[in-house]
Structure 1
Amino acid sequence: MDSHSTARVVLLSCGSFNPITNMHLRMFELARDHLEDTGHYRVVKGIISPVSDGYNKKGLIEACHRLEMARLATENSDWITVDSWESLQPEWVETTKVLRHHYEELLTWEQGADDVDTVKSAKKRRVEGNSFESSSYHGKRDDPRLMLLCGADVLESFDVPNLWKPEDVTEIVGRFGLVCVSRSGSDLLKLVHKSDVLWKHRKTVHLVKEWVTNEISATHVRRALRRRHSVRYLLPDSVLHYIQQHELYSSESEQKNADVVLAPLQRYANASTT
């Protein structure tokens, strides 16, 4: 692969990671293979960004535990890292804002220490004005690209009322790019075809087919743990040891936030009624 003719890509995966599983890690490997096989991209980094406790998802344990499990899961990877910024926010942060944050971090890293102040001031102007023109992203040919990595469930969730702002979906696929890994029973092409926004930006929506079907889900793992069933080989041994050591995932923990409305549903529903 000619490094001079390929765009450098950083993959960002946002989610609960409650807990992180082997499938979460496999998604990064699958996405990298898919993008690099096109001959147009060179994946240089992967970032796992666990959501903050403010997301209010049912059964979501504390971010400190989810963050540490993600770090344990990636300790042997030479390109996948874990970032704590999103998880440490006091309130839930929209995915678009997480993408913007990491893209600005990439620019800062690219510019180098001597230009940090210049980049930060530019970032401040863009954030304060809340104006993100196309030129703000991938403006230079040699700038690294940041793409959101997700599973089919995220693509399906774009249609759920009050879960996503339409302009956020447009920004994700139109200005960053989306890499979506299939799962058994999902028809990614159909989902793209049904959505005018996804169809319009279909050239920046990369659909990855997983031929070795693997239905590991964090929900299944938590259920098995509550029932004292084995989950070995579904997640890294270091993560399993951490769960056992801290006695995570019980019937009680699964009821956490049971009576609380999911943060985006609450925020956007309130916005639509005001």
Structure 2
Amino acid sequence: MFARGAPIPTPARVAPLECLRTTVASVKAQPAVLVACGSFSPITNMHLRIFEDARDDLAQQSVDVIGGYVSPTHAKYGKASLASMPDRLNMTQLALQSSSWVNLSSWECAQSGWTRTAVVLQHFADELAQVPLNTDSDAKPEHPVKVMLLCGGDLLDTFDVIKDDGEPLWLPQDRETILRNGIVCIERKGTDLQQVIAKSKELSKYKENIYIIKPQIENDISSSSVRRLLAQGRSIKYLVPDDVIAYIKQHSLHELPTWKAQQ
């Protein structure tokens, strides 16, 4: 557990590589690692479930997911609803206890400030390039590991957004890094991802690297809806893991002013 009120210790690596499966399904399969970046304030069952949906769907497309990571953002990202970094890391760690393949990365929170998503993914890619992979026949896979951003479809819709000051929301080089490595988008109601891709020259260019995943069960649980229920004194059981609920109660996170404000 991470000590509350103390600096986050810098990990030796951006990812605990010992947690990866290094035997790939076949020589021709594309090895991949899924990375979810975000606030996770708090982490919900939806955040966990999309990893499972993504892995299942990708397996049908000859993409062998050998590991997954949740990477909570730094406090200096500046979002008002962020619980402290130790609290978000601890809740995420508790939520992932039951997973055999998805792990926590504390690297972002250990930095001196906020790190852009593309930079985080590049750190993963640099480290994972050193991981030796094989197959059941001891033959080497034909493809190197891809580090793929796992996200909701609404994020893809922001790639071409221009801010009021005329600057792009995403730096061009960051979009290039993310799309070149691959992005796995979970469909959400109200967003036609195929249309989003078709109307964007850049997204169309990399459409082969964009994997659209349809959830097998509709799941609209969000951190903001969990915070709203907490502010109203309502139950959040079955929306977040039980250990996370216990942590929230133990440390009175439901009393955080920015969480209570959502009532």
TM-score range, shorter chain: 0.7 to 0.9
Cα separation, 2, equivalents of 1:59 and 1:2: 41
Structure 2: how far apart are the matches of 1:109 and 1:52? 27
The number of aligned residues is 226
Would you say 1:217 and 2:222 are equivalent positions? yes
* Contact 1:53–1:90 (Cα < 8 Å) also in 2: no
Gaps of 5+ in 1: 112-139, 257-274
Distance 1:233 1:255, change over 3 A: closer
**Which of residues 211, 235, 249 in structure 1 aligns to 2:240?**
235
Q: What is aligned with 1:133?
A: none
Q: Secondary structure at the match of 1:184?
A: coil
* Structure 1 Cα separation of the partners of residues 173 and 148 of structure 2: 17
Percent identity over the alignment?
A: 40
* Partner in structure 2 of residue 199 of structure 1: 204
In structure 1, what is the Cα distance between the partners aligned to 2:260 and 2:251?
A: 18
Report what 1:23 is aligned to.
Answer: 46
Q: Give the counterpart letter for 1:19 in structure 2.
A: P
Aligned counterpart for 1:163 among listed residues 165, 169, 174: 169
Higher helix share: 1
Q: CA deviation at 1:166?
A: 2.2
Taking a change above 3 Å as real, the CA distance of residues 103 and 2 of structure 1, as seen in their structure-2 partners, is closer
Residue type at the aligned position of 1:197: E
Q: Once the 2 structures are TM-superposed, how far is the Cα of residue 211 of structure 1 from its aligned partner?
A: 4.0
Tell me, what secondary structure is at the counterpart of 1:93?
coil
Residue number in structure 1 paired with 2:15: none
* CA 255–56 in structure 1, closer or farther in 2 if over 3 Å, else same: farther
Q: Verify the 8 A CA contact 1:49 1:82 in the aligned structure 2.
A: yes
TM-score (norm 1): 0.78
Q: Distance in 1 between matches of 2:255 and 2:189?
A: 28
Per-residue CA deviation, residues 171-202 of structure 1 (Å, 9 max, x unaligned), is: 2102x100000112221111111211111100
Q: Which amino acid aligns with 2:80?
A: K
CA root-mean-square deviation: 1.9
Equivalent residue letter for 2:58 = L
1:147 aligns with 2:153: no
Alpha-carbon distance in 2 for matches of 1:37, 1:179: 14
TM-score w.r.t. the length of structure 2 is 0.81
CA contact (8 A) 1:59 1:255 kept: no
Give 1:155's aligned amino acid: L
Unaligned runs of 5+ in 2: 1-23, 134-140
Instruction: Give the 3-state SS of the residue equivalent to 2:157 in structure 1.
Output: helix
